[in-house]
Amino acid sequence: MRPGITVESQAAELAQLLFYEDLNDVVLVATSSGGMVMARTAEIARERIGRLVFADALALRNGEKVSDIVTRPSSINTELALGPSREDAEGRLFAGLDPELRAWAVERCTLHPIAIHTQPVKLDRFWSQDWDASVIYCRRAPNPGEAHQRRCAEALGARWHELDTGHYPMLSEPENLSQLLLTTAAEE
């Protein structure tokens, strides 16, 4: 963790990875605040992107901030980072997971750089471009919520899918999430 980590800096690093690894027709999948990073990465590395999947991900419009959509306060909020406390992660974020998986997830849960949540996202061209996209709404996740997910799907003309799970489908429903990703790829 250090000052200066933003959506812009994370997206630039991912775009550089795509370039230096010479990756093309890439499927980017994001959840939570990773949706903003994915959208910005796609915008700046357009020629390398094949498909986008918003798996219960924030899909902010140009100039919006996470706090415009997610109003729940973080249990930890410092000048560099914010996020859940260990107790909040155990009792709320990962509460629905079996105890062994919950312990594994809690041990790997880290704080988010503060700028990701406080600075407006910069997406000058993302929403005006055509994308092959899917939105996976997780019905038991309070944030970002169905209205936000539908707004994204409608704006992108994206395929709509739902999972009856919480905000971390890669942990709670990995087989169903994988099946959706593969089914969506087969539809192309």
pLDDT of residue 69: 83
In-domain check, residue 112:
no
Q: Is 30 helix (H, G, I), strand (E, B) or coil?
A: strand
Q: What total of structural domains would you count in the chain?
A: 1
Q: Is residue 147 part of a domain?
A: yes
CB atoms within 10 A of CB 129: 11
The answer to whether residue 48 sits within a structural domain is yes
The predicted structure's pLDDT at residue 3: 87
CATH of the domain at 27: 3.40.50.1820
User: Could you list the residue range(s) of the whole structural domain that residue 65 is in?
Assistant: 7-69+120-186
The answer to the question of residue 61 being in a domain is: yes
Per-residue pLDDT at 43: 97
The model's pTM: 0.92
In a domain, 138, yes or no: yes
pLDDT digits (tens, 9 = 90+) for 136-175: 999 998 888 899 999 999 999 999 999 999 889 999 999 9
Residues 82-126 have pLDDT tens digits of 899 999 989 888 988 999 999 999 999 999 999 988 899 999 999
- Residue 122 has what pLDDT? 94
- Per-residue pLDDT at 39: 97
